[in-house]
Structure 1
């Protein structure tokens, strides 16, 4: 990876007229902004169909896309909607915050209208799409149709026959819910059509997309329902153990994610087929994959199902290099960033080094100890990705004003030579841009010097993932300022 830089911008956080960011005009405008800014990478958060608490890390499928990201204006262009269909509809109460309750009501209603208008128009295209995605699409569409039939409760609460995927029950619901199944198939067709068109445009500008994939799947997901044998479940299909991480910098009681734990023995017996399929699919969507919680491949924190915190978990060995080698043998030249944050041991470091994948260095973690802190820029190596912060961190301004402790802030100002004339946020970004790391990445909020109320997420708490960018924030002046810093430190992708 050549010396370069990029910006984290969640698709949901893009501006627009319909309550949430989409694959429409504003996404293309953001790609143009990246080009003007001299950036080589656009890092996005997971694109999955969000479930519990609207988190992109808790999705109904590890493969399916989020219907909210489908752009309605593009559906108008394709004559699947009329402009009048979009008039006098309230998608949000605040252009800087996503209202998921309104969105789920209004946008899904409009998408159903688009589906009705698509009948007898897209059959051959959707058939081809279905063939290309047969490893996951049929189970997902059936899952969502049944889920809707059961008022969207978790599959754990469905009737036993369909919960256990008995053959007669599967055939019954496929017949009963045929039209609903085709609706969800249409949704995924439109999602991936629009996404691949956007990606093609982004790539044409010389910009690559870093896609973020969670290591785990959600309990309430088609992945678990359709692949029960590769997870640790009891006789009632309830997880025996769930995932999380021990107490760390984010949480004193650890993080209880609640995701079911893989049956790695069974997965290995299949030559890691499910994981190979997942990585292959992800490579069709992104240029680079960031695997969230990569350290879980070495050892993972296993928590008894039903516990209220992550404190009573234990470390259990993961698949290690056996999985990495299987993926590399199957997929040539796979580009992966290993999210190796949290409790890191010598074994995790060894796995990451043996894999050859670059790890992550987060500058916001650098100032709570001494000069040996691995997140301080003078300790970086070239084969790493230097972040000012991630989607789980506060913004730089929020860290200085609210969440950072006084001693760390004093040390930070001294170490980076920060001053108010330059701007603390710009001096902080300079700390990673000037480092030896091959790739440096910063949240869009931090270039804008936005405060704590623009934070994307706070781990182990609810009510996040709602921040949106205002349309007038992406100015040529800001793009030029980012470009000049990027050029100064030899990371520039030409903006000509």
Structure 2
């Protein structure tokens, strides 16, 4: 896959402003689409849209298929007749709350339950609503029933992991499942409805984007959580013991940044079983994701060549082993099932072996370059703009990076290390700047490069400091909460970005 020269912005929907504690698919999201058009952008990159797990991370989800219903717009529920205006007239004061704050989750869940009650009263006599609902639910039938039952059971067990629900439910004995479906019929229907309104609102927003020439780049984590509907519904596809516990878990080995490596804790796929089923689960996952987005970033792409498997009893990732994965077979199966095309960007960051590069190039997948990673001592560092090729997506930074201004400020501070000061000086010399508008220097560098696509986090476009950082890997709290100010996206900012985009040949005709 190759890009016609273009540019885009990285921004997750939780970062939109608004009165309901966290961003959603409402008016501000549609206004952002208008800003993308005015500023000459052709892509909007987001993070995974699934239900968030511990810490509010979109990369730790209880489902590889379902949507995060906290992104449903309360105002959108009003406009569709599922809530009354008075239901949202006086929202609580969410000042200082983060996206996964229990107050926000409880408030939004209450509104969704009100909307469900209203829906049940309307749907019997509203044939148009019934047809729309039935159509959306039928389109999601490959995963929705398992997920709705899982979510209802999770509610009944106060969020406890599925392996604690008792042997009959944990092992999905038919009698236990039938009993749960009878007892929890209303809760299952509620979760089915929550996914319906999520899909309806998101797909309406995506249609708005696509109608204006904006394509959406989604994100697919390599692994899934142990406590997920997927592992519960299909445990044979992961390396689990007889009690449903992982025998090995995912991570990365020790490196210069961590002497013990990183222990992620996700269960590892049973690739032999997946191969035996023609990689059907992965094909379904990619197919369903591409209903929601136009392109997919495959996170941790090196895992498609080999995974670092760590014994589940280990406390660190030090004693893991690289185990080869059938990435070529998997990607080939997905490509064959998806009309012969993989609309995928490979997240090929970090220290990679030759087999990872070969796998990426075999399928013609664009890779990633991140300008913040460029400032070492190697004049041929692949993240330096003169080393880019048209087959890469160039970023000023990613969701895991500090903002450009934050990164530069740290390296300008009195306590900066010698290595950090060197990076700062190298950066200034290379970019030919005094650093007063370092964020624009970075934006210009990726836009003027030969990279097929350039992407900037909105924080970098706004020139914000470290307080706007989206995620700090390894930090357990305080992530995923950043939201931009309601007055941030000005006509002047759109004009300046459009001029830069046009100057470097990235302005697409609409």
Is the TM value for this pair above 0.5? Answer: yes
Of residues 321, 329, 336, the one that matches 2:344 is 336
Partner of 1:480: 495
Displacement of 1:313: 2.0
CA contact (8 A) 1:251 1:459 kept: no
Of residues 410, 416, 429, the one that matches 2:443 is 429
Going from structure 1 to structure 2, the CA distance change for 1:257 and 1:59 (only over 3 Å counts) comes to same
Partner of 2:105: 104
> Quick check: 1:117 aligned with 2:125?
no
Partner Cα separation in structure 2 for residue 36 and residue 52 of structure 1: 37
Show the 5 A alignment for 1:402-421. Answer: 402=410, 405-421=420-436
| Helix, strand or coil at the partner of 2:323 | strand
Of residues 86, 89, 95, the one that matches 1:87 is 89
Show the 5 A alignment for 1:354-365. Answer: 354-365=362-373
Partner of 1:226: 233
> Quick check: 1:449 aligned with 2:463?
yes
Show the 5 A alignment for 1:310-389. Answer: 310-332=317-339, 333-389=341-397
- For residues 385-431 of structure 1, what are the alpha-carbon distances to aligned partners after superposition, in whole Å with 9 as ceiling and x for unaligned? 1111111111001111227821111111111112245x111111111
CA contact (8 A) 1:425 1:446 kept: yes
Going from structure 1 to structure 2, the CA distance change for 1:116 and 1:187 (only over 3 Å counts) comes to same
| Helix, strand or coil at the partner of 2:153 | helix
Displacement of 1:494: 4.8
Partner Cα separation in structure 1 for residue 195 and residue 100 of structure 2: 22
Q: How many residue pairs were aligned?
A: 493
Partner Cα separation in structure 2 for residue 420 and residue 412 of structure 1: 9
TM-score by length of 2: 0.94
Displacement of 1:200: 0.5
Partner of 1:471: 486
Displacement of 1:369: 3.0
Of residues 205, 208, 216, the one that matches 1:209 is 216
Show the 5 A alignment for 1:159-308. Answer: 159-248=166-255, 251-308=258-315
- For residues 146-190 of structure 1, what are the alpha-carbon distances to aligned partners after superposition, in whole Å with 9 as ceiling and x for unaligned? 000011111121111001000000000000000000000000000
| Helix, strand or coil at the partner of 1:119 | helix
Mark the runs of 5 or more structure 1 residues left unpaired by the alignment: none
CA contact (8 A) 1:36 1:483 kept: yes
Partner Cα separation in structure 1 for residue 100 and residue 279 of structure 2: 39
| Helix, strand or coil at the partner of 1:375 | coil
Partner of 1:29: 31
Going from structure 1 to structure 2, the CA distance change for 1:98 and 1:281 (only over 3 Å counts) comes to closer
CA contact (8 A) 2:78 2:85 kept: yes
Partner Cα separation in structure 2 for residue 451 and residue 309 of structure 1: 33
Of residues 37, 40, 43, the one that matches 1:41 is 43
What value does the CA root-mean-square deviation take over the aligned residues?
A: 1.5
Partner Cα separation in structure 1 for residue 22 and residue 370 of structure 2: 28
Partner Cα separation in structure 2 for residue 377 and residue 68 of structure 1: 38
Displacement of 1:91: 5.5
Partner Cα separation in structure 2 for residue 101 and residue 452 of structure 1: 25
| Helix, strand or coil at the partner of 1:458 | coil
Partner Cα separation in structure 1 for residue 422 and residue 313 of structure 2: 38
CA contact (8 A) 1:419 1:427 kept: no
Partner Cα separation in structure 2 for residue 237 and residue 33 of structure 1: 48
Partner of 2:126: none
| Helix, strand or coil at the partner of 1:471 | coil
Partner Cα separation in structure 2 for residue 252 and residue 98 of structure 1: 32
Displacement of 1:106: 1.1
Partner Cα separation in structure 1 for residue 112 and residue 47 of structure 2: 23
Show the 5 A alignment for 1:123-162. Answer: 123-162=130-169
Partner of 2:474: 460
TM-score by length of 1: 0.96
CA contact (8 A) 2:19 2:91 kept: no
Partner of 1:17: 19
Partner of 1:64: 66
Going from structure 1 to structure 2, the CA distance change for 1:370 and 1:347 (only over 3 Å counts) comes to same
Partner Cα separation in structure 1 for residue 162 and residue 258 of structure 2: 30
| Helix, strand or coil at the partner of 1:473 | coil
CA contact (8 A) 2:55 2:100 kept: no
CA contact (8 A) 1:208 1:287 kept: yes
CA contact (8 A) 1:303 1:313 kept: yes
Of residues 394, 417, 422, the one that matches 2:402 is 394
Partner Cα separation in structure 1 for residue 176 and residue 168 of structure 2: 6
Going from structure 1 to structure 2, the CA distance change for 1:461 and 1:306 (only over 3 Å counts) comes to farther
Runs ≥4 residues deviating over 6 A:
none
> Quick check: 1:489 aligned with 2:504?
yes
Partner Cα separation in structure 2 for residue 59 and residue 339 of structure 1: 19
Of the structure 1 ranges 255-264 and 9-18, higher mean CA displacement relative to structure 2 is found in: 255-264
